[in-house]
Amino acid sequence: MEQRKIRNRVRKISKFQRKSSSEDGNEDLLYTVKCKGLLPSRTTQWDLACLHSLGIFYSDKSTPLSDLLDSVYSNIGVFKPLTEKEKEYTTSIQDSLYFSFSTQEVIDYCRKYMISPNEVNINVAEKVRSDLESDMFTKTREKLRPYTVGLIEQFIRNIHHIIQIMRSKRGLLNVPERVFVNLFCNFVKMCNLNPSEGSLWKTDHNILQQNVSSEADVVILPCNLMEASDYQAVNVVYVVDVKKLSTENLDTSESLSSSSLSESSDINQDHEHSACQPSIYKRVCKKLLGQHGAELVVHHELFGEKCIKNGKIFLSGMIVVGTQVTFTLLVCSVDHMVDILNEKDVGRKRSCISYSEPKDLLIKKDRDELLEAFWRLNYDSV
C-alpha cells in the first residue's frame, strides 16, 4: 500500500522537536522559512511562505464545484454522482428552504434596521422564519425522515438567530465564530454526514524534518461509521473568524458579498507560476490560506487508503468564511508527500491546491448546489 510506504519511510527518521523562532509572531516568516529553514511548530502560525517551502501552491483560478468533485471521482472513484433516489431526497430538502439573500443584502438590511426599523421594506429575519410555516415545507415533510426535518428547522432558526445578532450587535463582525460553526455543522448533518470536533483529531507530523502539530476546526466523517473498520475523514474544514478579515489587507464586506465572486480583476504581483496572484487571495488572507494548506498536509493520514491511487494523493478540504463555503482539493504525488515528511527540502517538486468559487448558505442557488455537493461526500468506492 502506498500509504504504508509513506508511514514506513517516515518512521526511519528520528523525531525531534524544534520550536520555531517565529512563535512570538514578531519575526518575519518569509525570512524565517527561507533563510533559517525553520517552520512554526503549529499550523496556526503558518503563512503562505511556509506552505510554499513545501512546494505547494494555490491554483490561479477557481474551478466549478461540480468539476472539482468530478475530478476526484474520475481519479479515485469517490464523491460519486448522486443516484436518482439521492437526487429526489436532496430536491425535497432544497424545496424546504426557499429564502434567498446575499450576505450584502443582509448587511444592508441590518444597517437600515438599526437606524429606522419601521422603514425597512423587507424584514429579512421574518422572511427566513416564514419558511418554517410555508406550504412547500409542509408538503416536503412527508418525503423526508423526521431527523432531517428537525435539522432543516434548526438550520432556519440558526439563520434567523444570526440575523438577530447582526441587528442587535451592529454588523457581521460581531457574530461569534462559534455561531457560524454551529450553522455549518447543522448543514453538514442535513446532508447525512458527521461533523466532528477538530480537537478530537489533533495530530502532529515531521514536516521537512521539523515537528508540526495541527488541529482542524471540523473534520467531516461519512455517515456509515458503524460499518467502517476505522474512521476515515472525507474533509478537513478550516473556519475563518470573520473578525480576522478586518485585520488583514482585505475589505470584509467585499470578501463576504456576492459581488466578490467575480474574477474580473488581476492583481499585478509576483507569483511563482503566473504574473497574477490566485483569485482566492482576494477573498481569504494569505496567512489563513497557509494554515489551511498545512492542515491538509499534517492530517493526510485521516483520509485513509481511499484517497491514494496511481501514485497520487487527493486531500479534500473546505474554508468557511461566515456563511460562505469554498471547497479545496490538494493533489500531491506520493513521492512529493514522502519528501515533505522525510527530507529537509522538496527540491523542485510542486503540488497544487484547487478550489471552488465560494457558495453562500444564504443564497438559494448556492445552497442547492452545496446540498448536492455535500451529499456526494458520502462516498463509496466504485
User: Do 136 and 198 sit in the same domain of this protein?
Assistant: no
**Distance of alpha carbon 129 from alpha carbon 156, whole angstroms:** 7
Enclosing H/E stretch for 309: strand 308-309
Q: What pLDDT score does 125 carry?
A: 84
Give the span between the Cα atoms of 131 and 153, in whole angstroms. Answer: 9
Confidence of residue 378 (pLDDT cuts 50, 70, 90): confident
Helix (H, G, I), strand (E, B) or coil at 125: helix
How far from 95 is each of 132, 169, 359, CA to CA, in Å?
A: 12, 32, 18
Q: Which pLDDT tens digit goes with each residue over 61-88?
A: 999 999 999 999 999 999 999 999 999 9
291 and 182, same domain (yes or no): no
Q: What percent of the chain has pLDDT over 90?
A: 58
| One domain for residues 265 and 231 | yes
Q: Are residues 120 and 248 in the same domain?
A: no
In a domain, 28, yes or no: yes
In a domain, 257, yes or no: yes
Question: Residues 36-58: pLDDT tens digits?
Answer: 568 999 999 999 999 999 999 99
Task: Give the pLDDT confidence of 218-246 residue by residue, as tens digits.
Answer: 999 987 655 554 567 888 999 987 765 54
CA 308 to mean position of chain CA atoms: 21
Residue 105 in any domain: the answer is yes
Verify that 91 and 36 share a domain, yes or no.
Answer: no
Q: How far apart are CA 73 and CA 64, in angstroms?
A: 15
167/128 Cα distance (integer angstroms): 14
Handedness of CA 169, 170, 173, 179 (dihedral sign): positive
Contact predicate 318/327, CB 8 Å: yes
Q: State the DSSP string of 59-83.
A: -SS---HHHHHHHHHHHHS-SPPPP
Angle at which helices 177-190 and 364-376 cross, to 10°? 60
Residue in this structure with the C-alpha cell 503562505, named with its chain if needed: 48
Structurally, the chain folds into a number of domains equal to 2
Whole-model pTM?
A: 0.84
What is the b/e burial string over 53-83, where b = at least 16 CB atoms within 10 angstroms of the residue's CB? bbbbbbbbebbebeebbbbbeeebebbbebe
DSSP classification of residue 201: G
Range of the domain at 165: 84-187
